[in-house]
Each structure stands twice: as C-alpha cells, then as structure tokens.
Amino acid sequence: MNEKETFSKRLTKLIKLSHKSMNQIERELGYPRNALFNYRQGNNPSAVRLLDLSAYFGVTPEYLMGREGEDLVKSPQVIFQGLSDSQKEEMCMLCYDWLLLRNK
C-alpha cells in the first residue's frame, strides 16, 4: 500500500473513531467543505494541514502517512472529545474518585 492509500485509510479510521462527521471536523479545524473528502479520495494535505490533522486526532504525522505501525495510541484529550455528554460526566466522576483515593 502506498502513502496516499495509507493516509486515506488511516484518516477514514480516525474520523470514524471520533464519532463526528467530516463536516463537523472541517468546521472545527476551519477547513473548507469537502477538504477531508478530498483527502480521503487521494489528495495529499499540505504539511501544515498534516500537522493540524495529526494534532486534532492525537496521532503523529508519521502515523497518518504510514511511516509508523498500525497501533493507534490516542491522547486522553482525543478520547474525551469522542465521548457523549453522559460518558464525559461518568469519566469526570471516575477521575474525581481516583483523585480522592490517591490523596488519602
């Protein structure tokens, strides 16, 4: 698989994992409509956009371009963004309980 195919495949995977629409992600990043669709169709992003996308999804640019393995380690911030409001509340309560136990 070449870099374009790997980038497209991994971007698609990250979009699905985010539980957001491409349009929502484009709005959040300030991209024009269909930018992500074009990248999924094989167009390469600029270096700046590659860095934007990697930061947004909590992965390295090397991962997106296929220069790192398949293992995907997402940052806590990216995981939290993908949660529903009720899941975020539950996560906050778990963290609060953890902090209380830790400080005993």
> What are the contacts of 43-52 at 24+ separation with CB within 8 A?
44/4, 44/7
Q: Which amino acid, 49?
A: R
* pTM, rounded to two decimals: 0.64
Tens digits of pLDDT across the chain (104 residues): 676 788 889 999 999 988 999 999 999 999 999 999 998 888 889 999 999 999 999 888 888 888 766 655 566 776 777 788 998 999 899 999 989 888 77
Q: What is the pLDDT of residue 21?
A: 93
pLDDT at residue 66, rounded to an integer: 84
Give which of 22, 25, 10 is closest to 74, Cα–Cα. 10
Short-list 28, 64, 25, CA closest to 44: 64
Q: Using alpha carbons only, what angle is made at residue 2 by residues 5 and 48, rounded to the nearest 5 degrees?
A: 70
Position 74 scores a pLDDT of: 63
Burial class (CB within 10 angstroms; exposed 0-12, middle 13-18, buried 19+) of 76:
exposed
**Rounded Cα distance, 65 and 95, in Å:** 34
